[in-house]
Amino acid sequence: MEGLKWLYPGLKIKRWLMLAILGLLLLVSGLTVILGITLLASTERGFTWFIIHTLGSLGSPLVGGLLAVALGLACVIISVRHLARSIIQVLLPGQMANPWQVFCRRQYLARGPHLVAIGGGTGLAVLLRGLKNYTRNLTAIVTVADDGGSSGRLRQELNIPPPGDIRNCLVALADTESLMEDLFSYRFRQGEGLAGHSLGNLLLAAMTDMAGDFDLAIQELARVLAVGGRVIPSTTSLVIMGAELADGSTVLGESNIPLVGKPIKRVFLQPAACRPPAAALEAITRADAVIIGPGSLYTSVLPNLLVPGIARALRDTPAPVFYVCNIMTQPGETDGYTVADHLQAIIDHCGWGIIDTVIAHSGPISRSARRRYGAKGARPVLINGPAIARMGVELRRGWLVDETHVVRHHPERLASLVMEEVYRHQSRSRQRLVYLLREKFHHLAR
């Protein structure tokens, strides 16, 4: 009975469906007159009489049949076109593109590679905004170690994982008009207990309470936003992030780590026995490529890799794993770090054999941006090619910067370079497969 809901008033479905039926009847009846056969029995006779005595009066029954076929085809084409437009308007409100363009684009994106992006903060959202133009087979694995701002307050008051980074990724992947994106990102400025909260965070919190499960709440909200992909928390456990500093002291709380201003020796999660969702491990196993970052090294990237099972899955996957390094150092986390230092930190926490290729920005950064960031202690991340090569990691450089009021990666440039690497690795894998098959064939021939 669910299908009958498409016939409800106001959807503009019934009128075009009736026109399509009329067009088919005219088309079939016209063919029966032309070919002299019977297909629709009694139903056809009325249309045949109409063709012979009305349209046929313009010349002959044959002319009437041809006119009926032409009229029927026109009705079918017009009705199908408007039916598609009406259905798209229902499923994607505000979508004004040509229905066939929408359909072709959806089909093209549905055949795209399966990509997994791992990280958090604004960096992962930037990457997803670019990648969604190449594929809908996207899975974002997102950190839930945030304990500051709106997310931290909701986590503390409602005992749920922090929703902020999840919300950013859902909005980045949304196939909706910008007004919906602005609505989910809207942050209240007034109201006791409400000021500082974003509407998207509150909706995720409400959905979690209704669904009784954080992951299910994410998927339900993804349906509302028409998300082209999937967003998964790296763990559904309520984890606390801590850091051991170079002087031996310890600090707890993700938001507190950059504020201490001391070099970081290692970071850790409490409880250490947290587990990743099975869907996250499955996505990594089935991926054509995995992209880690960009984002804060210690507070956005590593919290995901420290969840037991994720680092092992990255090491075992046959897919290439790319690490997108930040453009600028982050005060309190990566002061003075080069690209090689970022890689070394990942190796120190997770072991060797995870990263295959590091992607780094190479190019000028405006003097005003360097001065503005320099006042806060941030510098461009330098590339140390020989050190990266000694780690057994490939280096891919590109002009990736997007300078507005902040310096961050440009979504389209970054996604384009990532896709180049994905297709290059796929081509290399195909060539290797052909080589192995050829060698096997020659061995059997001997």
pLDDT at 433: 60
Q: Where are the domains of the chain?
A: 2-91, 112-141+225-438
**CATH topology (fold) of 112-141+225-438:** Rossmann fold (3.40.50)
The beta strands (E) that lie in 81-236 are given as: 115-119, 138-142, 230-233
Contact criterion met (CB below 8 Å) for 170 and 232: no
CB-CB neighbours of 443 under 10 Å: 8
Helix (H, G, I), strand (E, B) or coil at 240: strand
The angle that helices 61-91 and 99-110 make with each other, rounded to 10 degrees, is: 60
Contact 193, 141 (CB under 8 A): no
d(CA 155, CA 256): 16
Give the 3-state secondary structure of 335-385.
CCCCHHHHHHHHHHHHCCCCCCEEEEECCCCCHHHHHHHHCCCCCECCCCH
pTM: 0.77
Kindly state the tokens that stand for 292: 């880690």
Q: Lay out the sheet containing 230-233: strands in order across.
A: 230-233, 138-142, 115-119, 289-292, 321-324, 357-361, 394-398
- Give, for 395, the enclosing helix (H) or strand (E): strand 394-398
- Whole-number pLDDT of residue 27: 78
- Is residue 309 classed exposed, middle or buried when 0-12, 13-18 and 19+ CB atoms within 10 A define those classes? middle
Name the nearest CA neighbour of 347 among 418, 268, 293, 266.
266
**Strands laid side by side in the 240-245 sheet:** 250-252, 240-245, 264-270
Give the integer Cα–Cα distance in Å for 127 and 282.
21
Q: Using alpha carbons, select from 116, 200, 129, 189 the residue that is nearest to residue 162.
A: 200
pLDDT of residue 32: 73
Strands 357-361 and 321-324: parallel
Q: What is the pLDDT along the chain (446 residues), one digit of tens a residue?
A: 455 544 545 446 677 778 888 888 777 777 776 776 655 554 455 555 555 556 555 556 666 667 777 888 888 888 887 777 766 655 555 554 555 555 566 666 778 899 999 999 889 999 999 999 999 999 999 999 988 777 878 887 888 888 889 988 998 998 765 666 777 778 887 777 777 788 888 888 888 888 888 888 898 888 877 788 899 999 988 999 999 999 999 999 998 999 998 999 999 999 988 999 999 999 999 999 999 989 999 999 999 999 999 999 999 999 999 999 999 999 999 999 999 999 999 999 999 999 999 999 998 999 999 999 999 999 999 999 999 999 999 999 999 999 877 899 999 999 999 999 999 988 877 666 655 556 555 555 55
